[in-house]
Structure 1
Amino acid sequence: MMPNQADGKARVGMSRKRACDIQCTIPNPESPCEWCDEHDLSYRVEKLENALAESRTHYPPLRVGSSVAERLATPSSENRDGRLQSESSPSPTIPPSATESTQSPLTSIYTDVQPTYFPVRQNPVTGVPLAQYWYSRGIPLLSDRGHQYMHSKTGQASTVENIRAASCQSNLQSLVLPVCCSNRELWHLPPKETVEELALAFFKSPFQRDFPVLDTLLFGATIEEAYGFIDGIPSLSQAHSIACVSAVLSIINHLEPSGRPLSTRDRDVYAAKAECILGHMMTMETNLVSLQTVLMLQRYHLFNAQTERAALLHATACRMICALGGHTYQPPRHAGDEVTWAERQEYHLRTLFWLCYISDKDVTLRSGQPPLLTEEYCDLTIPGNYTGYFTQLQGLGETITSNKYHFHFHGNLGLCRLKEKIHRLLFSSHAFNLSDGELILRIRQLDEDLESWRLSIPLELRPKLSIPPMQAIPAQGSYTTLDIRGAHLQLEYHHLVIAIHTTVRRCGADNPDNKDLPDDLHSVIHSSCDLSLEASRSTISFLKSSPTVLSEQEFSDIVFYANLAAVSLFIDILAHPQNTHSHTAINYLSHAINITQGLSTPTSTQGELKRIQQTNRFIMELIRLGSCAIAKAERGCSKTDDVPS
């Protein structure tokens, strides 16, 4: 084995040595050890130190208060009181020069320096169901063959992929505090009376009914703990509580509270503070309060149409819920209504598990990513005092303040378990290796399961099989809670019909070069395609005819449903441009633009407005290409359709 020589230069006055002769010995105190000298490590370290010193000159030093720096730098004997200091063995005193280059959210935040990000590999179908993009035989529309297919049908170059990629990248942003925030400002909250007023409005809002991330009594204790901090460095529990209150303040305006509104800048600052504190605290301790903070920040990013960042926080929440044991079921210790404080915390943790589980099914089915919470590893036992998805529709405006704990969730738990089954049977890694017969058998099985679920819904809320295009528009302000929940179930039903039956376009993937499919298989494919197309048309019809009810639905949900239906209709236009339904499909795509444009309101956030603009550009490109395909087919320039639908 030959020794390494730095930069290929021979050393003067030193004979070549064998590797076995080189040892970690120091000839004299002024020289490096023999091994380091042989590998020229001292030179390499010197180069790295020079490069680091040069890079620091490009950035201003972080501003750290001297008193805070001293407290962080000097070991304290008061570690037992729970303050934010290391509980490990005392470390040597950090010199002042070291503290000047130490960045910690517990001291101060200098925000003139923008954070550095590593490039993220973008999936062109991020945030969009994989099934939408198969046009035939499992070939993705956004692939080389897919672009060739679109060009052969339309005679035009497509910018669909660029628009989708831009839409995905635009929301990968980080919250940055807009000002240089000192240590005291980082922990600052509004007056306690203001927070309590906003909290009261929060618990009476529809958001808390649909997404019970906070418990009235537990959050009251969180407020008390947060305002117990006066000066200096907060304790662990105080820091968690301040972050949780800040996260609640970041979304309070989206709930239309009766209290004092916060400016957009204030909301963003509180969200940034919560993320800043949370980023440091999660390395120390995971608890119920920090889990609530993560879920609140997830909703903040959803409200701002930052779905990718919300998905990352969702993954964090799922890991936290398992670390805390929320994925296991613990039956009540006694039959009485009154519960102890510890039991209330356990019950609320279980509520947060169900919120994470429900959200996980949506993220999984919409993005194609693997699930994080599955039936194999989670106890899905329904709690005995669960009020039920439909029973809770009575008296939803009441706030529970007694010690009696009620479980109630936004999503239908049966529907969530069906979503998990759909993803496992159709979108898992094993499912992509199924034969055509096995795939069709699973599609039929899931279709029967979906119909069984639909029939299990009470008649006043049961989703309709289809929505007529000229459905009457309900009067403004005449909707009820039943209407809102019914609208959610209707849209979810059509979503699952599309997700199940569009996978039939994977049939024939084993023989991509065989133009002709068996007649019976071709008939099955057309039958499933017809069902998915009817569900797509019904989705747009329902979105168009129910603007008042939809105002109570989540912004990201409406955008998703509109995109889902639009792409399904567009693929059918490409497959059958000469069909008389193609012109009708173009009209439906135009309605989809009107729907998303109608989501813009005076209270819309910048993220929502940007997402509306991106969605409209995307659908307008589908309209352009679809119209070109129809025009080309009508001119008789299109070749005979050699790609089965």
Structure 2
Amino acid sequence: MPTPPVATSAKKRRACDACNRRKIQCDGEPPDTQCNWCYHHGEKCTWNRVPRPRGRARQGQDRSRSATRSESRPGPDSRPDSTDPPWNADTESPDNPTQRLVSAEPQVADKQYQPLSASPLSLQTPPITNFPDQLLSPSVSEAGPCFGKLHFAGYNLGDINSYHGIPTFSEDGKAFIRSRTGESAVFENVLPDAHEQDPRRLRETLLSSLKAMQHPDQHLALPDRRIVEEHVRFFCSSFFKLEFPIVDCVLFRDTVDAAYEPLRGPDSPEAIRAKACVFSFLSVMSLFEPDRQPTSPPVDGDVFATKTHALLPLALQDLNLTVLQTLLMLAIHRLFSGQVPSASLLHSLACRIMFMLGGHTLADPWLMNNVADRATREKRHLRRLFWLCFMIDKEICLRTGQPPAIDDEQCVLTLPEGYLDVQYVDRSLYTNESLVNDSAIPVMPGDLRLGIIKSKACKLLYSAEGLRKSDAELLRDIRELDEDLEQWRLSIPPQHRPVLSMPRDGARTESIKCPDGIRSIVIHFEYHYLIATVHRATSRCGPESSEMEGIRTSHLLTVEASRSTLLYLRFAIHVLLEEAFWIIVFYPMTAATCLFFSILLDPLNAHAQRDLDLLDLVPELIKHIRMRSLTQSEMYHLQIVDDFLAELIRLGRCAIEYAVTRARQEQWSEQQNRMVS
């Protein structure tokens, strides 16, 4: 072992190769004294690299390298630029990420330094010129992953945050708000540490899953079988089975048997998949407790969802129908719990398994008469799961701005035989259990035809190709989608048909049929949201295009649809159920943001004050939907919603007052000028 390093003179030393690579202080002295770092790491000090020239000699060498590099670049526009900074492996430019990546390559200590080849690919990145500005923003915003862009009347105002759906305004968006209100928005106080705190619930779930994997006997034990059997009986005899056909009653009873009476032991792959499926089923059933029979015992859905997460790594070893419905049910639980990012990931995985099983290309299995045959039953259930995947995919896509997981062109989208005949049948007719048998046509959580229109809107208006379209092409596609929506609306029976615009007058509202359930309410919300989403695409057109007739009309339709959403919420609030809270709250939040910017755009408009009064009602309306006890994470989320709405209302009021004050000042200035003249 060499002797430890001793103190040397204070003159400037040359660092050894190891210390030079690590950019640390070296106290060694060539060729005999070993430095402190190499001594403690048992390495030999070496000084094999070629010293770099300093001062004027270094500058001359750099200029020579720059000229050589410029002469080697191909193309007529490759001219040496004396103003460019010198480049080599020892220096880096903070403005050139490609250069930083190249210069960060490790150097070998026992080889002499050689300049890296200055190829055009390593020196410069070709500029992107074929995409509009909104496509050039980074994929991750300051507040976390971006789930879409927020445009209004030609202004790019910011991003839609992936965790809570609330806008994260850009600097231009904040400047626009400040110019219209005379106030600085305090949305940063509304969303403290949003990137860190919002995924709290998901992190807690994963940590609980890890603990459960360490103690499987204690944490992953199945509940009493009677609890599961009671929920299965309720599901198989209720209308919920047709709205959310998450399991087939016959096949799922086999799954329950495999979980509680495994043929190959409790640790076999079949038993683990069955157990995960049972846990996932109970997590979904917990969301709809108001609909359950009094004899059905309540269950904690979050606990069972956590247990499902813990078993997923083992359950995914084999991909079959059981695993598909497990993932899909877990995604539904996350979606209805307000955890959209987690739901999106789980749903994408479920879609991949559904593709592998061939559910997207199945012919209509309801034409098959032999329901007793297990293969036929599995095909029928797989097709039901495909439509569930399809509907959830379009909902997540439209809400988040992310590309869909399901490409319509790769799927058979033929509606089930007899689907339109049962789509809007009175729910009370299904109280007879004989009508909810295995051959019953599924109703699904929404209208499948509307899901197809959603998919078309995403592709035509909000895909990468849609964002490159000209104003004329955009207006053409908007007209086409508008016609599709109107044809769909007119096909709905009058008692369920969404109105074009909700009246403000209470007397006129009484003429509208009261919704008979959450299904009718969601369809109304979806219709108005789709109208607003389709016509809001014109907001990407620049402010100079705002006077075009088509764009101005689309802007007015966007605002009116948002206004109708809030008016309908006030009209139907008494029918809303607590399990739909995280699905419903998205619609008033989006509508409130649109109305807010409408007020800012024209605060002296006759509608501005009435729209502000409508905004003022939204927090109270949202509170009326909250009936069950909430988790800590949900309470945190709701506090964000309340604070965000309060800030919108405050700024909207400031915008009207600011505009009135400026109008009076301008009027007074004009009077003074006339008096002087």
Tell me the TM-score normalized by structure 1.
Answer: 0.73
1:525-565, CA deviations, whole angstroms, 9 ceiling, x for partnerless residues?
A: 33222212211111111101212222277212221111111
Corresponding residue of 1:375: 408
AA paired with 1:536? S
Instruction: Select 1:158's aligned residue among 182, 185, 191.
Output: 185
Q: CA deviation at 1:607?
A: 4.1
Helix, strand or coil: the match of 2:261?
coil
Instruction: Select 1:456's aligned residue among 491, 500, 503.
Output: 491
The 5 Å alignment of 1:84-95 reads: none
1:160 and 1:399 map into 2 onto residues whose CA distance is 51
Instruction: Select 1:496's aligned residue among 522, 530, 533.
Output: 530
Kindly indicate whether the alpha-carbon contact (under 8 Å) linking 1:153 and 1:638 is maintained by their aligned counterparts in 2: no
AA paired with 1:440? L
Kindly indicate whether the alpha-carbon contact (under 8 Å) linking 2:393 and 2:405 is maintained by their aligned counterparts in 1: yes
Corresponding residue of 1:630: 656
1:159 and 1:601 map into 2 onto residues whose CA distance is 30
Kindly indicate whether the alpha-carbon contact (under 8 Å) linking 2:319 and 2:353 is maintained by their aligned counterparts in 1: yes
Corresponding residue of 2:98: none
Corresponding residue of 2:599: 573
Corresponding residue of 1:136: 153
Q: CA deviation at 1:139?
A: 2.0
2:239 and 2:247 map into 1 onto residues whose CA distance is 13
Residues 493 and 165 (structure 1 numbering): CA distance in 2 closer, same or farther, change over 3 Å? farther
RMSD: 3.5
Residues 127 and 298 (structure 1 numbering): CA distance in 2 closer, same or farther, change over 3 Å? farther
Corresponding residue of 2:501: 466
Corresponding residue of 1:34: none
* More off after superposition, 317-326 vs 365-374: 317-326
Q: Does 1:211 pair with 2:244? A: yes
The 5 Å alignment of 1:147-546 reads: 147-160=174-187, 163=190, 170-172=197-199, 173-174=202-203, 175=205, 176-177=207-208, 182-229=215-262, 233-256=266-289, 257-258=292-293, 259-262=295-298, 264=300, 267-282=301-316, 284-330=317-363, 332=365, 336-384=369-417, 386=419, 388-391=422-425, 393=427, 395-399=429-433, 404=439, 406-471=441-506, 482-508=516-542, 517=545, 519=547, 521=548, 523-546=549-572
Structure 2 unmatched runs, 5+ = 1-15, 21-27, 32-42, 50-107, 111-138, 159-168, 667-677
Kindly indicate whether the alpha-carbon contact (under 8 Å) linking 1:463 and 1:490 is maintained by their aligned counterparts in 2: yes
2:541 and 2:452 map into 1 onto residues whose CA distance is 26
2:318 and 2:233 map into 1 onto residues whose CA distance is 29
Residues 216 and 583 (structure 1 numbering): CA distance in 2 closer, same or farther, change over 3 Å? same
Corresponding residue of 1:551: 577
AA paired with 2:417? G
Helix, strand or coil: the match of 1:336?
coil
Q: CA deviation at 1:379?
A: 1.5
* More off after superposition, 328-337 vs 404-413: 328-337
Q: CA deviation at 1:506?
A: 1.8
Q: CA deviation at 1:407?
A: 3.8
Greater helix percent: which structure?
2
Residues 474 and 169 (structure 1 numbering): CA distance in 2 closer, same or farther, change over 3 Å? farther
Residues 397 and 373 (structure 1 numbering): CA distance in 2 closer, same or farther, change over 3 Å? farther
* More off after superposition, 236-245 vs 288-297: 288-297
Q: CA deviation at 1:628?
A: 0.9
Corresponding residue of 1:50: none
1:493 and 1:564 map into 2 onto residues whose CA distance is 14
Q: CA deviation at 1:340?
A: 0.8
Q: CA deviation at 1:252?
A: 2.9
AA paired with 1:353? F
* More off after superposition, 614-623 vs 156-165: 156-165
Q: CA deviation at 1:415?
A: 0.6
Residues 627 and 126 (structure 1 numbering): CA distance in 2 closer, same or farther, change over 3 Å? farther
Residues 540 and 168 (structure 1 numbering): CA distance in 2 closer, same or farther, change over 3 Å? farther
Kindly indicate whether the alpha-carbon contact (under 8 Å) linking 2:545 and 2:551 is maintained by their aligned counterparts in 1: no
AA paired with 2:504? P
Helix, strand or coil: the match of 1:601?
coil
2:324 and 2:384 map into 1 onto residues whose CA distance is 12
Q: CA deviation at 1:469?
A: 2.1
Kindly indicate whether the alpha-carbon contact (under 8 Å) linking 1:247 and 1:297 is maintained by their aligned counterparts in 2: yes
Corresponding residue of 2:6: none
Q: CA deviation at 1:15?
A: 12
Q: CA deviation at 1:5?
A: 6.1
Structure 1 unmatched runs, 5+ = 18-37, 41-119, 641-645
AA paired with 1:417? I
1:525 and 1:226 map into 2 onto residues whose CA distance is 58
Larger radius of gyration: 2
Residues 590 and 145 (structure 1 numbering): CA distance in 2 closer, same or farther, change over 3 Å? same
AA paired with 2:613? N
Helix, strand or coil: the match of 1:140?
strand
Residues 281 and 485 (structure 1 numbering): CA distance in 2 closer, same or farther, change over 3 Å? closer
Corresponding residue of 1:93: none
Corresponding residue of 1:20: none
Kindly indicate whether the alpha-carbon contact (under 8 Å) linking 1:225 and 1:238 is maintained by their aligned counterparts in 2: yes
Q: CA deviation at 1:639?
A: 10
Taking only the aligned residue pairs, the percentage that are identical comes to 33
